[in-house]
Amino acid sequence: MAKEEFDHLADNYEQNISPWMRITGESIEFYAQSRIKWVAKELKKRDCMPHGILDFGCGVGLATPFLLEEFGSDCTVIGVDVSLDSLKVATSNYASRNVSFQSLDSYVPNQQVDLIYCNGVFHHIPLNERGRAIQFIHDSLRPGGFFALWENNPWNPIVKYNMSHAEIDRNAIPIIPPNAKNNVLTSGFELLMLRYCFVFPKFLKFLRFLEAPLSQIPIGAQYVLLSRKDSH
């Protein structure tokens, strides 16, 4: 999807997403919070508490309050995106002393970020630009920094249907997990884990205790690759 298309959706982002969320019975915020809680839990296992966080493809900034909630209100969060209109919305709603937003073109990678969080972005990036995008992420991370890449799982039939009908995904090119894994590995990252999440909708939430045991089976609505930049 081009920058102009995201600009067009910026003021009504949640309204555009909500019809597809209703199928699951959960809110946008539920999934944003759940993704970040998952990342925080895995980083805690590795004795990592990031102080500098980059939200790559931040959109209107919906992840921001949850990043601050999980990693502390004193951490620095920078959101970058191609859509200037989305960044205006994000700045209006979430900017503060330690939270800022800027265009992807104006951000200069400096190998200072501890964690890069990215959700549902790469299927909007043209195939010939994805390698450069991951290199940008690699160059932004400090040695030993973490990259959490969340993507929609095109092997899930409901996700596949949603992506083929939602306006926001009109020009999206889904990424199957093996391709995402290859993109990460060939860009100099160590892949720590690949997991599939969000198997059960709200009306089956009593089964969510099975999410972890099922996370290595490719049936969840999203998958996540947690990787780390070489520390040398």
> Regarding beta strands 113-119 and 52-56, do their DSSP bridges make them parallel or antiparallel, or are they unpaired?
parallel
* Domain boundaries defined on the chain: 3-229
| Amino acid identity, position 226 | L
Three-state DSSP class for residue 193: strand
Domain 3-229, CATH: 3.40.50.150
Mean pLDDT for 1-23 is 56
Lowest-confidence pick of 5-14, 29-38, 220-229: 5-14
Mean pLDDT for 192-205 is 96
Give pLDDT, residue 5: 53
Going by pLDDT thresholds of 50, 70 and 90, the confidence category of residue 231 is: confident
Q: Is the pLDDT of residue 70 over 50?
A: yes
pLDDT digits (tens, 9 = 90+) for 96-137: 999 999 999 999 999 999 999 999 999 999 999 999 999 999
Give pLDDT, residue 25: 87
| Amino acid identity, position 98 | N
Q: What is the pTM of this model?
A: 0.92
Q: Is the pLDDT of residue 15 over 90?
A: no
17, containing H or E segment: helix 13-21
DSSP readout, 37-98? HHHHHHHHHTT---SEEEEET-TT-TTHHHHHHHH-TTSEEEEEES-HHHHHHHHHHH-BTT
Q: Is the pLDDT of residue 4 over 60?
A: no
Question: Exposed, middle or buried by CB within 10 Å (0-12, 13-18, 19+), for 55?
Answer: buried
Tell me what percent of the residues of the chain surpass a pLDDT of 70: 90
pLDDT digits (tens, 9 = 90+) for 148-183: 999 999 999 989 888 887 777 888 999 999 999 999
Give pLDDT, residue 1: 44
End-to-end CA, the chain: 36
Give pLDDT, residue 104: 95
